[in-house]
Structure 1
């Protein structure tokens, strides 16, 4: 599998570590791969916001106005839900 190096914020790194530490994911790579799959699916639905554009001027952020990070947070909350 190809290897890619990226920079993430300390908060993102902590979130990834927490997901692995709690056993939700087996590795940090698994977390990132799932996030990328979700991003790709959202992109194909044209449901990805233009983060730099949105952050700069508050303009329209895509079809639903939601970022993939929001979608991922919702997904994680649903996974943890005791339903």
Structure 2
């Protein structure tokens, strides 16, 4: 499997650690792979904005009607916990 190095925020790192510590995932890599699968599925369904630069610059118009991956992942995790 190819290795990729990315930089994440301390909050993102804490979220990954919490997901592993909760026992829902065996490793941080599993958490990231799941997040990427959700992102890819949402992107294919057209649920994500195609202008991340505008969102990062504070232009909320690019985000209207779309959801960020963190929101979708949080929903997915909550649903997963409800069924455990």
Give the number of equivalent residue pairs. 82
Please identify runs of 4+ aligned residues in structure 1 that moved more than 6 A. none
TM-score by length of 2: 0.85
Residue aligning to 1:34: 34
How far, CA to CA, are the matches of 2:62 and 2:32 in structure 1?
27
Q: Quote how far apart the aligned CAs of 1:79 are.
A: 1.2
> Cα RMSD (Å) of the superposition?
1.8
Q: What secondary structure is seen at the aligned counterpart in 2 of 1:59?
A: helix
Gaps (5+ residues) in structure 1? none
CA distance in 2, matches of 1:66, 1:53: 14
CA contact (8 A) 1:35 1:72 kept: yes
Normalization by structure 1: what TM-score?
A: 0.86
Counterpart mapping for 1:1-80 below 5 A: 1-49=1-49, 50-55=51-56, 56-61=58-63, 64-80=65-81
Long gaps (5+) in structure 2 = none
